[in-house]
Amino acid sequence: VRIVLISPNAAERTALAELLRAEGHDVIATARRQEGLLATIDECPDVIIADAQVADLDGLALVEEVSRHCARPRMILLSSRTRRSLRKSGVICVPKPIDLAVLQRHMQPLPQQRLA
Amino acid sequence: MTSAGFSDDVIDGLQVLICGLDDEGHIHVFNRPCERLTGYMRQEVIGKSWLELFAIGDRAERVVSLWRTAHDETPSGPLESLCRKGRSIRWQFSRWNHSPPITLWAVGIDVTDEREALTRARQFERIVALGNLVSGLTHEMRNPLNGALLQLTLADRTLARLDPGTANPALTAVLQARSEMRRIAALLDDFLMFVRPQPLELQRTDLRQLVAHAVERSSPKAQAANIEVTIEPGPSAIALVDGSRVETAVYHLIANAIDAAAQVSQSKVAVRIVDRGNGIGIEVEDRGVGLPSSDIPIFEPFFSTKPGGTGLGLAIVQLVATDHGGMVTYERNRDATVFRLELPIVGGLPN
């Protein structure tokens, strides 16, 4: 899975990038939203994993921005708060501290994508 | 009826407290509402000092000070005093030089209920402010905690890869640090459920799957204690519940059962879903030590019988149960302890 990881928290970003790479994913990790956006436009990743601290209030704005340039990627928001309101928007919210198994589960292709 | 008698009737008929006072602050008029509220009869207080009656309790000093201002100068602003029955009275003073010896009228209203409502509102505001503070702090702590946990996971995997199959003290240290940090994270989650309860998000949920997730969540604890947690077979059960919360409640029941079983070297904990007629029960059974007494308040927050226990687990189970309109019960049969989370069937039926 091609992943763009955007997190201003160095401890979170570096460790998570390494752990995901060890699982066989392609990961571009950036600290800032603008760099992440440029990387996303270049790479057209399958998944964006963004810390809630960078992705505006809910990550939706970032997804909309990315969607103008390439196929809509799956958006996973890492948040210290429960954000039930995001469920309907398609943004997946993974609570901190992150359970890696849960994160991996959210990165699996959806059933229709598997069929395609 | 004389004009004086007419005035007395009018004064008695008013719904406010009225005291007529002379220059020295002695009482000459004491109407019926004054009698009712203070418990004094008119005859008892005529000639007595107003301060003697109303400068009492924890407000005495302030009443005396304000009284002096009101009495020596032109009275301004209200003065609040207590009376013998503990009621709060707010007084206003008016100068009067037309019916000696009365030179000052004190008019009071009972503000006890208003003050109590205000006190309750302030207490509630303080609790909300404290809840917001704790909630904000808890959320903020999750960010560095997350970074630290991820780094420890990376260290653990790197060490395991570099030095596989040997007892590496560095790896042991990393695993222990991670385990302790997970405890902090779990404690924060539990605490947050109390300070910031969320409304229920009811969804049709497969309880069997929910129980499986709770068992999976408890597996590190079960493995560490060398205890097998099994789900007894049975039909699937669908119910309208807040899956995340019920899973947390079941997790706490399983975690408690593991702790109890581990104390007597028992190796099994059983979880089962039972049809309770008008509801569904999720039972967790262990053959551990059991409760020391049936009278202890096990569902009270911060009460624990376990060394190092936070006392939040069972309180959370009860909170989840009651939020769903259900309850949590426990029973001891011979050597088995069974905790049962009972959920009413709302909008869904067991299949």
d(CA B230, CA B224): 16
From chain B, the residues in CB contact with A80 under 8 A are: 139-140, 142-143, 146
DSSP B109-146: EE-HHHHHHHHHHHHHHHHHHHHHHHHHHHHHHHHHHH
Find the residue in B nearest to A20 (Cα): B154
- Residues from A contacting B (CB-CB < 8 Å) are 9-12, 14-16, 18-19, 22, 53, 78, 80-82, 84, 95-98, 100
Q: Phi-psi region for residue A56, left (φ > 0), alpha (ψ -120 to 50) or beta?
A: left
Amino acid sitting at position B171: L
pLDDT tens readout for residues B200-249:
888 889 999 999 999 998 988 899 889 999 999 887 788 889 998 899 99
Taking 70 as the pLDDT cut, the residues of chain A under it are 55-60, 82-89, 109-116
Does the beta carbon of B213 lie under 8 angstroms from any beta carbon of chain A? no
Query: Is B142's CB within 8 Å of A96's CB?
Result: yes
Q: Where are the beta strands (DSSP E) in chain B?
A: 17-21, 27-30, 79-82, 88-99, 102-110, 203-206, 228-231, 238-241, 268-275, 279-286, 327-333, 336-344
pLDDT of residue B98 exceeding 50 = yes
At B104, phi and psi to the nearest 5? -145, 130
**List of residues 6+ apart from A71 with CB closer than 8 A:** A44
Query: Is B149's CB within 8 Å of A98's CB?
Result: yes
Q: Residue B332, Cα to own-chain centre: how many angstroms?
A: 29
Q: Residue B261, Cα to own-chain centre: how many angstroms?
A: 31
Query: Is A100's CB within 8 Å of B153's CB?
Result: yes
pLDDT of residue A109: 67
Lowest mean pLDDT among B54-68, B234-248, B270-284: B54-68
Mean pLDDT of B184-190: 82
d(CA B32, CA B1): 19
ipTM above 0.85, yes or no: no
Work out the number of other CB atoms within 10 angstroms of the CB of residue A53: 16
pLDDT of residue A110: 57
| Distance from the B315 Cα atom to the nearest Cα atom in chain A, whole angstroms | 21
pLDDT tens readout for residues B244-264:
889 999 999 999 999 999 888
Pairing of β A74-79 and β A47-51: parallel
Query: Is B145's CB within 8 Å of A97's CB?
Result: yes
Candidates B139, B150, B201; nearest CB to A12: B150
**List of residues 6+ apart from B55 with CB closer than 8 A:** B61, B63, B64, B67, B81
Mean pLDDT of B151-161: 91
From chain B, the residues in CB contact with A81 under 8 A are: 139
pLDDT of residue B8: 74
Find the residue in B nearest to A10 (Cα): B147
Task: Find residue B82's DSSP bridge partners.
Answer: B88
The answer to whether the beta carbons of residues A93 and A83 sit under 8 Å apart is: yes
Burial of residue B123 (CB within 10 Å: 0-12, 13-18, 19+) is exposed
Q: How confident is the model at residue B74 (pLDDT cuts 50, 70, 90)?
A: low
Query: Is B150's CB within 8 Å of A10's CB?
Result: no
pLDDT tens readout for residues A8-18:
889 999 999 99
pLDDT of residue A60: 67
The answer to whether the beta carbons of residues B187 and B310 sit under 8 Å apart is: yes
At B170, phi and psi to the nearest 5? -65, -40
The answer to whether the beta carbons of residues A16 and A2 sit under 8 Å apart is: no
Does the beta carbon of B95 lie under 8 angstroms from any beta carbon of chain A? no
